Amino acid sequence: MNMKQEFTAFGFSIEKITIIYGAFLILWGLIVSFVSGSTSITSYIPSMFGWPMLFLGALALKLPDYKKILMHIVVIIGLLIFLGGLDVVRNLTSGTFMNNVWASASKTMLLITGAVFTYLCVKSFIFVRNQRKQS
C-alpha cells in the first residue's frame, strides 16, 4: 500500500513555509527600516524579496496544478536571497562588517535564512521525486 505523503518541515508544508518566510522577510524589511530610521530603499530589500515569496507560496496552495512551476520559481528566489546575503562576506573581508549594524544584520539574516530555505526546497524536491519513483 502506497500512501502519498507531503514533505513537511517544522510541521508545515513547503508552501506554508514559503508564505511564512515571505511574511518574515516583509516584516524584517519594514521593522529594520523603521527602527534604523533608514531612508534608503536598500533597507527594504528583504521586503522586496518577501512579497513574491508570500504571493507565490499562496498561489501554490490555491493552484496545486501549478505547484511545481511555482515552487521552482520560489527556490530560485530563495537562492537569490542567499546569494544577496553573501555580500556580508565582502564586508567581513574588507573590515566594514558592522559599520552599519542594521545592514550587516540584514545581510547575515538573508545569508542564513536563504540557505536554510533553499535547503528545505531542495529536500522537498527530492522527497517529491522519491514519491514519484515509488508510485
Per residue in 89-117, pLDDT tens?
Answer: 999 999 999 999 999 999 999 999 999 99
Residues, the chain, total?
Answer: 135
Instruction: Give how many domains the chain has, as a whole number.
Output: 1
- pLDDT (average), residues 26-47: 96
- For residue 30, tell me if it sits in a domain: yes
**How many CB atoms are located within 10 Å of the residue 128 CB?**
16
- For residue 26, tell me if it sits in a domain: yes
- For residue 8, tell me if it sits in a domain: no
Residue 3's pLDDT band (cuts 50, 70, 90) = low
- For residue 20, tell me if it sits in a domain: yes
Residue 1's pLDDT band (cuts 50, 70, 90) = very low
- For residue 5, tell me if it sits in a domain: no
- For residue 7, tell me if it sits in a domain: no
> What was the pLDDT predicted at 135?
78
- For residue 35, tell me if it sits in a domain: yes
- For residue 3, tell me if it sits in a domain: no
Cell (9 digits) for 94 = 574588507
Structural domain for 90, as ranges: 13-134
- How is 108-135 classified by DSSP, letter by letter? HHHHHHHHHHHHHHHHHHHHHHHHHHH-
